[in-house]
Amino acid sequence: MTAGRVVAFDLGTKRIGVAVSDATATLASPRTTIERSGDAGRDRARMAELAGEEGAALVLVGLPRNMDGSHGAAAKGASAEADALAPLLDVPVLLVDERLTTVTADRTLAARGLRAPARRRVVDRTAAAVLLQAWLDGAAGAGWRAGRAP
């Protein structure tokens, strides 16, 4: 297996943040935000379409665990969403801990001087990039770059 581009989704109730890595799976960049349509199947089809457009070799879906590491309703929903997305893709789908990604993204954007309305427009894709960069920088990302299966 050869490492390749990784796409990450930060699932929200109103929006889905999307981030992508470079081809070497080293650097994460915010890509876009998908506005929830109210039709989960349509939203998943758009996610699969974006993953294909980016040439994803791996897809990450944020898993919003509780601060104590347990899985609440949001984590169970994200897991179900990942399970429903997987058959639409020809690449592996992994759940990745996303605790505090939105908080980190919002603080980073605020530090850059973005006011609240501007932050709301980009926080979801920025949170996806935070999630993806953390994964890329960790042992799993290093293993992925070394050619090990996720």
Asked whether residue 100 carries a pLDDT value surpassing 60, the answer given is yes
Which structural domain, as residue segments, surrounds residue 48?
6-143
pLDDT of residue 31: 96
Question: Looking at residue 108, which CATH number applies to its domain?
Answer: 3.30.420.140
Asked whether residue 105 carries a pLDDT value surpassing 80, the answer given is no
Read off the pLDDT band of 103 (50, 70, 90): low
Kindly give the residue spans of alpha helices, DSSP state H, lying in 35-115. 40-53, 73-85, 101-111
149 domain residue, yes or no: no
- Least confident stretch, 70-79, 96-105, 120-129, 136-145: 96-105
130 domain residue, yes or no: yes
Average pLDDT, the chain: 88
Cβ atoms of residues 101 and 130 within 8 Å:
yes
How many domains does the chain divide into?
Answer: 1
Mean per-residue pLDDT for 98-108?
Answer: 70
26 domain residue, yes or no: yes
Cβ atoms of residues 35 and 123 within 8 Å:
no
- Per residue in 37-75, pLDDT (tens digit) is 999 999 999 999 999 999 999 999 999 887 777 777 888
Contacting residues for 149 by C-beta, under 8 A, at least 6 apart: 1, 92
Contacting residues for 127 by C-beta, under 8 A, at least 6 apart: 10, 17, 62, 98, 101, 102, 104, 105
The pair of structure tokens assigned to 56 is: 């994803």
29 domain residue, yes or no: yes
- Per residue in 23-39, pLDDT (tens digit) is 999 999 999 999 999 99
Asked whether residue 84 carries a pLDDT value surpassing 70, the answer given is yes
pLDDT of residue 70: 76
pLDDT of residue 82: 97
114 domain residue, yes or no: yes
